[in-house]
A and B are shown apart, each in its own frame.
Chain A
Amino acid sequence: MSEQMGLKAKLGLDVFKHDKEPHIKIRPGMEKDARLKKAILVCPAGLYSENAQGEVEFTIDGCLECGTCRIACGIEVLEWNYPNSGCGVQFRFG
């Protein structure tokens, strides 16, 4: 069996253009909200995780802009917009 490629390595294959600010933000005070924890399960890029304090942490690097977190968690816990013009992932195959 061939070695499984990690998620980070997979995302490293994609073309991303840097944005000056993250287009998704956890709303202040919502880090421990139960709705936000769903993002850990649903994000296809695995960008959400829980730290030792039980808070959900998030990194924008590798975001595929699918919107799954917005749908699973809701806009009460996530401030969600698309990246600025010409920024973010640029699929070559799609």
Chain B
Amino acid sequence: MEKDFDVIVVGGGLSGLSAAYTMADAGLEVLLLERGDYSGAKNVTGGRLYMNPVRDMFPDLWKKAPLERYIAHEEVSIMDKERSITVRYDGSELAQEPYQSYSILRGKFDKNFAKMTEKKGVSIVTKSRVDDLIIENGKVEGVRAGGEELTSNMVIACDGVLSLLAEKAGLRKPGVAKDHAVGFKEIIELDRTVIEDRFNLEGDEGAARLYMGEVTRGKFGGGFLYTNKESISLGIVVGIKDLTEEPFVQAPDLLDAFKQRPEVACLIKGGQTSEYSAHVIPEGGYNSFSKLYGEGILIAGDAAGFSMNIGVTVRGMEYAMATGYYAAQAAIKAKEADNYSAAGLAVYEKLLNDSFVMKDFKNFKDAPHALDNPRFFNRYPQLAGDVMRDLYEMPNGPKARIYPTIMKYIKFSEVFAFLKDFGGVRKI
């Protein structure tokens, strides 16, 4: 039977748009369904996009893309209760073209990407929630949305981190707390000039700041700040499992406390919060992946778990775009061979294995385990703070020698834990 479309893409976020955009270039008939009012309406980033891995996959996309600021100033702060230590990385190296990363806002970026995807000939239908897959003889043959049946040779599920479609296709089980974090953030509007003055930015330069330690009460995660053109993205990412464990704290309280820290309050002073958003992040990495393809279906982006936290960098969007791109390549090959079975679509996994995507995830497969260690978010920030205090504090009376003072903080028994923790970090 003749199908309505070659491919139906479910979800108009970065992986879905990347897939549709790439397939349209190859002349496939593609329908993209997005449940929000527009692409980006249901999406959230921290966030920044790293350009190098995906720049060449979408050569026409960038010229008019609504990017915010290129990140030329990186900072990471270790926060203890009443103090913090910051490392800054900047200089001319990060201010050179092509810039390696930009802050972005998904409401703008995805909307523009959708417009460009539509121009390539993809039919995009917004306000369309997909309710189910059409499965015949074990193979996906289309979707059900709003009481209608839409048929296609195959479906690419880009329906986000929960991927209810991958569950319906039997390719994955519901996500579990230990493999996921939740991010929530405020958009705080400030005048362009105020942002540039406060963060020492020249023109379209931007700053990225990460905060770890007390900001999550020692739980796995951290705080983040990105400068946009006329706003600041300020938020928290915290492991969901850690949130359900002691010390108990309600997630929104972490962000309120973060905003009140003097180190942060001075940066957002006078700003107007204009949006509050939240999103789940898959952080289980390689060891938590489920099946990426089945009969007539491919899974890409967050839906397949492609997001990675390796401490100072947290990445998801490049993987979403790249997996969408490779899913499209697999679909193009499937159409050439007229074979949409799991065997025909297995090339997707091979393409990913040969690309930076799986190489990254294999390289960093132990990172979630090595970093999921309360001492990194609790004990070490405190220790670092104690050391700084002893370096800088001048007592009323003689100052103690520095080395013995520092050593007194580290109990003999802790040395082994210390070696083990940083031994784990070598795997990253």
A residues whose Cβ falls under 8 Å from a Cβ of B = 1-2, 4-5, 7, 10-11, 13-14, 17, 38, 40-46, 64-68, 70-72, 74-75, 81-86, 88-94
Interface pair B43/A91, CB less than 8 Å apart:
yes
Report the bound CA distance from A13 to B273 in whole Å: 8
Chain B interface size, as a band, is 35 or more
In contact, B278 and A44 (Cβ under 8 angstroms): yes
> A17 CA to B40 CA in the complex, in Å?
15
A90 touches B162 (CB 8 A): no
Residue in B187, B240, B265, B275 whose CB lies within 8 Å of A71: B240
User: B250 and A11: CB pair below 8 A?
Assistant: no
Q: List 15 A-B contacts (CB under 8 A).
A: A13-B273, A13-B276, A41-B243, A41-B250, A44-B278, A68-B240, A68-B251, A71-B174, A81-B164, A85-B127, A89-B41, A90-B36, A91-B275, A93-B231, A94-B277
Q: Name, among B44, B105, B146, the residue most crowded by chain A CB atoms within 10 Å (CB to CB).
A: B44
List 16 additional A-B contacts (Cβ < 8 Å) besides A85-B145, A93-B277: A2-B269, A7-B252, A13-B275, A13-B276, A38-B244, A45-B252, A68-B182, A68-B280, A72-B177, A82-B129, A84-B129, A86-B127, A92-B274, A93-B274, A94-B44, A94-B277
**Across the interface, do A91 and B177 meet the contact criterion of CB distance under 8 Å?**
no
5 pairs of A and B residues whose beta carbons are closest in the complex: A86-B127, A94-B106, A44-B184, A44-B278, A66-B278
Residue of B nearest to A38 (CB): B244
Contacts A10-B273, A72-B243 given; does A93 touch B162 at CB 8 Å: no
Report B416 CB to chain A, min CB distance, Å: 33
Across the interface, name the chain A residue whose C-beta is closest to B105: A93
Chain A residue, CB-CB nearest to B129: A85
**CA–CA, A1 and B268, complex, Å:** 11
**B128 interface contact, C-beta 8 A:** yes
Q: With A10-B276, A13-B275, A85-B35 given, is the CB distance from A94 to B244 under 8 Å?
A: no
Cα of A14 to Cα of B186 in the assembled complex, Å: 11
- In whole angstroms, what is the CA distance A86 to B125 when docked? 11
> Shortest Cβ distance from A1 into chain B, in angstroms?
6
Closest CB-CB distance, B86 to chain A, in whole Å? 21
Closest to B110 in A: A94
Asked if B121 lies at the interface with its beta carbon under 8 angstroms from chain A, I say no
B150 to chain A, nearest CB (A): 13
Question: Interface of B with A (CB < 8 Å)?
Answer: 35-38, 40-45, 105-108, 110, 126-129, 145-146, 161-162, 164, 174-177, 180, 182, 184, 186-187, 231, 233, 240, 243-244, 248-252, 256, 259-260, 265, 269, 273-280
Residues of A within 8 A of B186 (CB): 10
How far is it, in angstroms, between the C-alpha of A41 and the C-alpha of B129 when the chains are bound?
Answer: 29
Closest to A74 in B: B174
Residues of chain B lying within 8 A (CB to CB) of residue A44: 182, 184, 251-252, 278
Within the complex, which residue of A13, A71, A84, A92 is in contact with B177, where a contact is CB–CB below 8 Å?
A71
Question: A13-B273, A72-B244, A93-B105 given as contacts; is B182 within 8 A of A42 (CB)?
Answer: yes
Nearest Cβ in chain B — how far from A36, in angstroms?
Answer: 11
Residues of B within 8 A of A91 (CB): 40-44, 106-107, 275, 277
In the bound complex, CA of A81 to CA of B276 (Å): 21
In the complex, residue of chain A having the shortest beta-carbon distance to the beta carbon of B271: A2
Within the complex, which residue of B35, B110, B250, B269 is in contact with A46, where a contact is CB–CB below 8 Å?
B250
CB–CB A41/B244 < 8 A: yes
Please, how many angstroms separate the alpha-carbon atoms of A70 and B180 in the complex? 11
- Beyond A38-B244, A84-B129, A91-B106, whether A1 also contacts B265 by CB under 8 A is yes
Contacts of B280 in A (CB 8 A): 66-68, 71
| B248 and chain A: residue at smallest CB distance | A41
Report chain A residues within 8 Å CB of B105: 93-94
Q: Which chain B residue shows the least CB distance to A7?
A: B252
Residue of B nearest to A40 (CB): B250
| From B129, B164, B251, B276, contact of A83 by CB (8 A) | B129
User: How long is the Cα–Cα vector from A23 to B308 in the complex, in angstroms?
Assistant: 29
* B66–chain A nearest beta-carbon distance, Å: 11
Nearest-CB distance from B45 to chain A (Å)? 7
User: Would you call B45 and A94 a contact (CB within 8 A)?
Assistant: yes
The docked-state distance in angstroms from the alpha carbon of A45 to that of B279 is: 11
The answer to whether A67 touches B161, judged by C-beta atoms less than 8 angstroms apart, is: yes
Provide the bound-state CA to CA distance between A85 and B127, in Å: 5
